[in-house]
Amino acid sequence: MKGLFQNVIIFISTAALMPLIWNPIWASEKKKDKVDVGKTIYEEHCRVCHGEMGNGMTIVARVLAPPPKNFTNPNVIANLKRSQMIYSVTNGRPGTAMRPWVTNLTSKEIEAVVDYIRGTFMRMGSAPGSSDKLINPGYPSIPAGP
C-alpha cells in the first residue's frame, strides 16, 4: 500500500508540475514572439537594403557595390548557412555596406532576424520575387569562357 501511495503522490506532483516544465502553447507563443522580434528588426534595419521581399531590389541597392544579398536567389538559398548569416550580421561584411550589428542587437535578436529571413525569404520556390538570376551572392565568380 505504501508503494502505491508513493506512486500516486509522484504522479500527482508530476501532473501538477508538467505545465510549468513544458507547455506546447507557451512554446508556440515563444516561437511566435521570436518571429515577431525578427520581423520587427528586419523591417526597421534590414528592409531598406534587402527589400520588402528579401530580394535586394531596392533603390538603395542601385548605389551599393556590391549590392545587398538576394535572399530569394536559389544559389543563395542552397549555399548560405545559418551560421554564416549570424556571423555576417554580428560582424558585418568588409567591402560591403553590411555593417556589424553586434553593438546594436543582442545575440538572441541577431538569431531572431536571421531565422526570420530564412523562414520568410529563403524557402526554395516559395518566396515572392525570387529570381533564378545569380545576383552577387558573395561567392567567387567563375570567369566567362571565350
DSSP 3-state assignment of 14?
helix
pLDDT at residue 5, rounded to an integer: 56
CB–CB of 101/45 below 8 Å?
A: yes
| pLDDT score of 71 more than 90 | yes
CB–CB of 117/54 below 8 Å?
A: yes
* 140 grid coordinates: 567567387
Per-residue pLDDT averaged across 46-57, rounded?
95
Distance CA(146)–CA(144), nearest Å, equals 7
What is the average pLDDT score of the chain?
Answer: 77
Distance CA(34)–CA(31), nearest Å, equals 5
| pLDDT score of 17 more than 90 | no
| More confident: 113 or 60 | 113
User: What pTM did the predictor assign?
Assistant: 0.66
pLDDT at residue 33, rounded to an integer: 72
pLDDT at residue 131, rounded to an integer: 45
Give the tens place of pLDDT for each residue, 73-83: 999 999 999 99
pLDDT class for 93, splitting at 50, 70, 90? very high
Query: Using CA of residue 121, residue 124, residue 24, residue 85, what is the dihedral sign?
Result: negative
Could you give the domains of the chain?
A: 26-120 (1.10.760.10)
